[in-house]
Structure 1
Amino acid sequence: MQKFTYVITAVQGIHARPAGQLVNVAKKYESQIMISAKEKTADLKKILALMSLGVKQNEEVTVSVTGTDEAVAVKELKQFFANNL
């Protein structure tokens, strides 16, 4: 398992458009990808679960990736967070 944390810098937090894009990135991988924020955890491949976290600007999220392609998934997800959130 690999994990990383990230503080959301986007003014609107994780709103609909980046959430949809993030889910699409996660769905490319076989690994199980979970995101945690404010003591809640959601499957990053499910947009409604992600949106239910209600992540806002300056909140920290932790992304955990478990599976055969976890190293590649973590690399792309980190890049997505840095460029979009």
Structure 2
Amino acid sequence: MISRTVTISDPLGIHARTAALLAGAAEQFESSLWLSCRGERASLTNQLKVLALGARQGDEVLVLADGLDETEALDAIADRLTHPVEPFGG
């Protein structure tokens, strides 16, 4: 298992669209992926639990990956969290 601390950069924090994109990204890997924020942890494939973490812009979160492709998986998720997506129509 490996982990990395990243800072949420999206001004809206982790919102519904971000949670959906994270889940989609997590499902592309064989490794299990989790997000930890303020002592709570959620599987990145569970959008509702990820939203329930309430991660906001500037929060430091811990991304954990465990499996055969854990390095690639961790890099992909960390990139999503530190590079917010453009809003719809933007």
> Normalising by the residue count of structure 1, what TM-score does the alignment of the two structures yield?
0.91
- What CA distance in whole angstroms lies between the structure 1 residues aligned with 2:32 and 2:47? 15
Alpha carbons 2:65, 2:74 under 8 Å: kept: yes
Q: Deviations over 1:33-74 (max 9, x none)?
A: 111001100011110110111111111100000001101111
Whichever residue aligns with residue 5 of structure 1, its letter is: T
SS of corresponding position for 1:84: coil
The code of the aligned residue for 1:39 comes to G
* 2:83 partner SS: helix
Q: Counterpart amino acid of 2:56?
A: K
Runs of 5+ in structure 2 lacking a partner? 86-90
Give the match for residue 22 of structure 2: 22
Runs of 4+ in 1 over 4 A off after TM superposition: none
Tell whether the 8 Å contact from 2:10 to 2:83 is kept in structure 1 after alignment: no
Number of equivalences? 85
The normalised TM-score by structure 2 is 0.87
Alpha-carbon distance between aligned partners in 2 of 1:57 and 1:78, rounded to the nearest angstrom? 14
> Aligned AA for 2:34?
M
Question: Which amino acid is 1:45 matched to?
Answer: T
> Hey, what does 2:9 align to over in structure 1?
9
Q: Pick the structure with more helix per residue.
A: 1
Q: CA–CA distance in 1 between the matches of 2:57 and 2:79?
A: 18
Distance 2:68 2:9 in 1: 30
CA–CA distance in 2 between the matches of 1:57 and 1:80? 13
Structure 1 equivalent of residue 66 of structure 2: 66
Identity score, percent: 32
